[in-house]
Chains A and B, each alone.
Chain A
Amino acid sequence: DAGVTQSPTHLIKTRGQHVTLRCSPISGHKSVSWYQQVLGQGPQFIFQYYEKEERGRGNFPDRFSARQFPNYSSELNVNALLLGDSALYLCASSPRGGGEGNTEAFFGQGTRLTVV
């Protein structure tokens, strides 16, 4: 079975541009979460989507947005990129997302975003 897949793997953007990152969860998983991992730090929670609805949002500006599609894949969008947005963006999928937090999240390989 395929794991969590993310695309692209690497991306270079210029300040002020917009970026879209994509994630396909493990087959049968309905919950997708996004995390930002800045070099030297642990992942920080950005969003969680379950059954196409936003179920959680971290402390990130409105430049960050996301959505989940009927096939449970997800996109993370970041507008007006700043140098500080340079990071590894991780997508995680879980079977459920309705508050049953005892299941582990499965992570993709991440998208390395560099803003210049």
Chain B
Amino acid sequence: AQSVAQPEDQVNVAEGNPLTVKCTYSVSGNPYLFWYVQYPNRGLQFLLKYITGDNLVKGSYGFEAEFNKSQTSFHLKKPSALVSDSALYFCAVRDGGGGNKLTFGTGTQLKVEL
């Protein structure tokens, strides 16, 4: 069975400061990892993914994520946060062994303040 843990329900950061949203995963095969963002009363927007290759993945809106196999982590980062980044962030995993099922974490609410 595959699973995702997002240990922080909420992350608060000042605008202009770097941000990190944490994610750890468990999967039997090779992991395919994804980050999505959700604004109020909206669907999910894709930010970035890790499939293979470089451990640092760059995505939309200046976000990046670092894959760490030994720690089974895929933390989302941004060097300089914006107030408009405030939203709900979901990490998701798919087993590279097959299928399209995404397993999501419980989400982390990011609040960026002036």
B64 CB within 8 Å of chain A = no
> Could you tell me if A45 and B49 are in contact, using CB atoms closer than 8 angstroms?
no
Residue of A nearest to B90 (CB): A42
Distance from A42 Cβ to chain B, minimum over Cβ atoms (Å): 3
**Choice from B4, B42, B43, B94 contacting A101 with Cβ under 8 Å:** B94
B100 CB within 8 Å of chain A = yes
> Could you tell me if B106 and A101 are in contact, using CB atoms closer than 8 angstroms?
no
Q: In the complex, which residues of chain A have a beta carbon less than 8 angstroms from the beta carbon of B104? A: 42-44
Query: Number of A residues contacting the other chain (C-beta, 8 Å)?
Result: 30
Known: A42-B106, A43-B90. A107 touches B101 (CB 8 A): no
Within the assembled complex, what's the spacing in Å between the Cα atoms of A35 and B100? 12
Q: Which residues of chain A from 83 to 116 have a CB within 8 Å of any chain B CB?
A: 90, 92, 94, 97, 99, 101-102, 104-110, 112
Q: How large is the interface on B (under 10, 10 to 19, 20 to 34, 35 or more residues)?
A: 20 to 34
Known: A42-B90, A48-B101, A56-B101. A112 touches B41 (CB 8 A): yes
A13 CB within 8 Å of chain B = no
Q: Which residues of chain A from 1 to 27 have a CB within 8 Å of any chain B CB?
A: 4
29 contacts between A and B (CB under 8 A): A33-B100, A40-B106, A42-B90, A42-B92, A42-B104, A42-B107, A44-B104, A48-B99, A48-B100, A50-B100, A55-B100, A56-B99, A56-B100, A56-B101, A58-B101, A90-B44, A94-B100, A99-B99, A99-B100, A101-B99, A101-B100, A102-B32, A102-B49, A102-B51, A102-B96, A104-B46, A104-B49, A105-B102, A109-B43
